[in-house]
Amino acid sequence: MPIRNLGQIVGLAAVLTALNASAQYDYFDHNRQLIRNGVQAVLSCNGLFTSHRTIDQVFTDELAYLGERVIGTASGGNYTVDRDARWVGVGGGTDGDRVHAVFRDGIGCIVVPPDWDMSSTDELPTIDLSYRTDTTRLPWPMGDVVTPTPLDPRISESALSAAETWAFERSSSEQKTVSLLVLHKGKIVLERYADGFDMTTRTRTWSTAKSIASTLIGMKVDSEELALDEPLGFEWLPVIKDRPAPDPRDSITLRHALHMSSGLYPVDSFGMEYATGSGLAYWAGASSVQGMRNRGLIREPGTFWDYENYDTLLAVFALKQTFANESDYQLFPHKALFDRLGMTKTLASTDRFGDFIFSSQVYTNARDLARFGLLFLQDGQWQGEQLISREWIDFVRTPAPASGVRGNDYGGQWWLVPDERKNDVPSDAYSTAGNRGQYVIVVPSHDLVIVRRGLDYGRQGFNRWDLLREVVKAFPKSETALPAQSIH
């Protein structure tokens, strides 16, 4: 209908204004509130019962991540801590649905949905790790006994001390280094912890867990139980009976998932991480397996890089398909990797259905992560045994094709030195990376492993390549380092 007078124009403008205003309404506000409560519950539960921190420390450090969204104080608030049953519940009433996180042996804290019957916590999964032997009295690296030895005279003690100071004395209060550990040729040459932390303190790895997941998947590729360039091999959601044509998602391979290039609809990026997608599995009790399979294909696999937790979980679910029973699956990370490296303080967390959330939820200490990095520095060898092939290490160090537009900074669930930094840090270095500043940096050219754990918050911004730049000043270049190769 044509617009005939000023009244119609004013009326149309009012309608458009109203439509624009309605477009700003946050239809995911309930989810965000639910996830906020879940974040506090999970971080508090693991802080208390996995890291063995005090409630004051939890509010000061672990929950600083939430800023003004924290409910209550260390003195009390709209949350409950049950130390006997080992759970934390947060929220309720005007603070939105209450979410509980429950500590489970061998796993850490599992988040349950708001309607969970808390008298049924015994139904949640556990992993029996009672078979483990105490390795603390064994010599490093299988144990924690470190024999003091003089520093290699080629190492600059003053430069190493300066790097330590650089890591701990930050100009931003939002960058909090809680541990720094440097290995040179497998030996600990620097180890420091912030007040309230020591070599036994387990904290969340966040996305450093992705590199651990990639390692476990690589073991299955090495044994030919998985293949990089074959379809993932599971059913997508929603299930459509009598499909007239194949599901286009069947073209997604393990390589695509590990390269963060699945082509599936994004659920964590573009400002939605704490509203939909993996946030509901991480913090609100949803299934990690159901959500990651329920995304449509919007791009050709392998053509677009998009950092998605669910892409990692696609690969982890493919890993699960190689096991005949649940028990073998749940013990695999420990018996195949952690126990063999002496990482006996490490817990891999699951959702309430028993599926590993290897995109983020591993709890461990700096020494166990140093052991993990040392495995890669030693080209996959440990105590005379080849645990992971050199070919797989070459794969994780080779840039994903779709990461070229970013500076070739991402491989197979490991981060690579971006093109713009290759003039000031060793270009062969590669790193894990997790939220709040969790880094394991492997530097073959200098025989180095650097572990930095943080509880950063707010703007964060701790730069691992800057840390590498400072640390490497103290060390000579290795004479035996080999260049990175590609796997095709």
Q: What is the pLDDT of residue 483?
A: 46
Residues 448 and 377 in one domain: yes
pLDDT at 420 over 50: yes
pLDDT at 487 over 50: no
Residues 241 and 281 in one domain: yes
Q: What is the pLDDT of residue 23?
A: 62
Q: What are the Cα distances from residue 7, in Å, to 10, 13, 14, 17, 21?
A: 5, 10, 11, 15, 21
Of 349, 332, 355, give the one whose Cα is nearest residue 104: 349
Query: Which residues have a Cβ under 8 Å from the Cβ of 387 and sit 6 or more positions away?
Result: 219, 337, 340, 341, 375, 380, 381
Residues 337 and 465 in one domain: yes
Tell me whether residue 132 is in a domain: no
pLDDT at 467 over 70: yes
Residues 400 and 336 in one domain: yes
Q: What is the C-alpha to C-alpha distance for residues 175 and 456, in angstroms, rounded to an integer?
A: 5
Secondary structure E strands in 323-371: 347-348, 362-364
Residues 432 and 458 in one domain: yes
Residues 289 and 349 in one domain: no
Residues 56 and 92 in one domain: yes
Instruction: Determine the average pLDDT of the residues in 403-432.
Output: 97
Tell me whether residue 298 is in a domain: yes
Of 152, 127, 199, give the one whose Cα is nearest residue 371: 199
The band of 322, judged by pLDDT with boundaries at 50, 70 and 90, is: very high
Taking only the tens place, the pLDDT of each residue in 185-232 is: 999 999 999 999 999 999 999 999 999 999 999 999 999 999 999 999
Q: What is the pLDDT of residue 20?
A: 57
Residues 383 and 455 in one domain: yes
Tell me whether residue 52 is in a domain: yes
Domain region containing 409: 157-207+328-472
Which parts of 200-358 fold into alpha helices (H)?
Answer: 208-222, 254-258, 278-283, 288-292, 309-320, 326-332, 339-341
What SS3 class is residue 231? strand
pLDDT at 426 over 80: yes
For the domain that residue 168 is a member of, what is the CATH number? Answer: 3.40.710.10
Residues 231 and 194 in one domain: no
Residues 260 and 185 in one domain: no
Specify burial of residue 191 (Cβ count, 10 A radius: 0-12, 13-18, 19+): middle
What SS3 class is residue 187? strand
Taking only the tens place, the pLDDT of each residue in 351-403 is: 999 999 999 999 999 999 999 999 999 999 999 999 999 999 999 999 999 99
Residues 251 and 284 in one domain: yes
The band of 13, judged by pLDDT with boundaries at 50, 70 and 90, is: low
Tell me whether residue 381 is in a domain: yes
- Among 126-135, 238-247, 436-445, where is mean pLDDT lowest? 238-247
Tell me whether residue 3 is in a domain: no
Joined together, the tokens standing for residue 175 give 């960058």
What is the residue whose two structure tokens read 């695999």?
A: 332
Tell me whether residue 485 is in a domain: no
User: What proportion of the chain, given as a percentage, has pLDDT over 90?
Assistant: 87
Q: What is the pLDDT of residue 198?
A: 97
Q: What is the C-alpha to C-alpha distance for residues 407 and 149, in angstroms, rounded to an integer?
A: 41
- Among 65-69, 182-186, 446-450, where is mean pLDDT lowest? 65-69
Q: What is the C-alpha to C-alpha distance for residues 371 and 142, in angstroms, rounded to an integer?
A: 8
Taking only the tens place, the pLDDT of each residue in 328-348 is: 999 999 999 999 999 999 999
Cβ atoms 437, 461 nearer than 8 A: no
Residue 211 DSSP symbol? H
What SS3 class is residue 168? helix
Instruction: Determine the average pLDDT of the residues in 151-162.
Output: 96
Cβ atoms 57, 196 nearer than 8 A: yes
Its pTM stands at 0.93
- Among 9-23, 407-421, 448-462, where is mean pLDDT lowest? 9-23
Number of separate domains in the chain: 3
Cβ atoms 442, 429 nearer than 8 A: yes
Tell me whether residue 234 is in a domain: yes
Q: What is the pLDDT of residue 484?
A: 41
Q: What is the C-alpha to C-alpha distance for residues 122 and 120, in angstroms, rounded to an integer?
A: 5
Residues 198 and 333 in one domain: yes
Taking only the tens place, the pLDDT of each residue in 16-74 is: 555 555 568 889 999 999 999 999 999 999 999 999 999 999 999 999 999 999 999 99
Looking at 304, 320, 336, which one is the last position of a domain?
A: 320
Tell me whether residue 23 is in a domain: no
